[in-house]
Structure 1
Amino acid sequence: MSTDISVDDATFAQVLLLARAWDVSPGEAVRKLIEHFQRPAPTTRAEPGDEGGIPVHALYGGLRVEGKYDPVTQALTVTEGPGAGHYRSPSGAASAVLQAVNPQVKPNRNGWSFWTVTENGKLLQTLRRP
């Protein structure tokens, strides 16, 4: 069964962005979002290596650090490398990586420009919600 729905241009642009990031149709992106919110909230924090999210990475201090970005919650999990763990924001994850690799530097970093979307090589900020 297929039924059309109407959304404003800004919402449609966001759906298209998610569809591109997930490499699915706009309808499939909406379905994935709905499924995400139908799941019960986890009782524990996500752990490194959990499935799901958009693969991202960062290059710092000669190391490649792998992660997964959740576009719904905007959380980032560092799955491999220094600072591995779950963070509420890309900037929190970036700070943890800096602190782990080079404790002498101030770990304040803009995570949106620190992380790169692995699939397309663009900065994570290209997926940022307004």
Structure 2
Amino acid sequence: MATIEVDEGTKQTLAFAARMANATEGEIVRRLIAASSLGQAQEEPKQEAESAQPIYADYEGHRTRGLYYPPGRVEIIDGPLRGQSFKTPTGAARAVVRHYNPSVNDNRNGWGFWQIDNGGGPRVWLQAIRPNDH
């Protein structure tokens, strides 16, 4: 069996999560990897690209473009955050704010931060296509 080294705080957190989930620490690590963007990138279905909705956000004079994948994932496709994937629009919005203005609180509602890229038509916030289960 292989081992990994973690600091004491991480070990305690991992042990607590394992107890709460009635699982082993190894299973918790496997679940975290599977749920991460790295794990998702390896398991993405090929048809997912067909469901991608182009979106953008304007913040601090910078436009950041992305792709929205229902029910909530956002992948940034240009600029300094290009290639980063987030489980929620809010996670992606917070990353944009942190990047361009690290001195402010990054708390943002991503559904009201991102806009649908409809080729210059009227402004439509991502909230307009938010799934009902969120």
TM-score for both structures, normalised by structure 1? 0.59
Q: RMSD in angstroms over aligned alpha carbons?
A: 2.3
Look up the match of 2:128.
126
Look up the match of 2:76.
78
Query: What's the offset of the Cα at 1:78?
Result: 1.0
Gaps of 5+ in 1: 1-40
Query: What's the offset of the Cα at 1:42?
Result: 5.1
User: For 1:9-39, what per-residue CA distance to the aligned partner results, in whole angstroms no more than 9, with x for missing partners?
Assistant: xxxxxxxxxxxxxxxxxxxxxxxxxxxxxxx
Most deviating of 50-59 and 115-124: 50-59
User: Structure 1 residues 76 and 45 mapped into 2: Cα distance closer, same or farther (>3 Å)?
Assistant: farther
Contact 1:83 1:93 in 2 (8 A): no
TM-score for both structures, normalised by structure 2? 0.57
User: For 1:25-61, what per-residue CA distance to the aligned partner results, in whole angstroms no more than 9, with x for missing partners?
Assistant: xxxxxxxxxxxxxxxx955277xxx955100000000
Q: Distance in 1 between matches of 2:43 and 2:103?
A: 29
User: Structure 1 residues 129 and 60 mapped into 2: Cα distance closer, same or farther (>3 Å)?
Assistant: same
Q: Distance in 2 between matches of 1:97 and 1:125?
A: 18
- The structure with the larger Rg is 2
Q: What is the count of residue pairs matched by the alignment?
A: 86
Gaps of 5+ in 2: 1-38
User: For 1:84-120, what per-residue CA distance to the aligned partner results, in whole angstroms no more than 9, with x for missing partners?
Assistant: 3100000000000000111101111000000000015
Identity %: 34
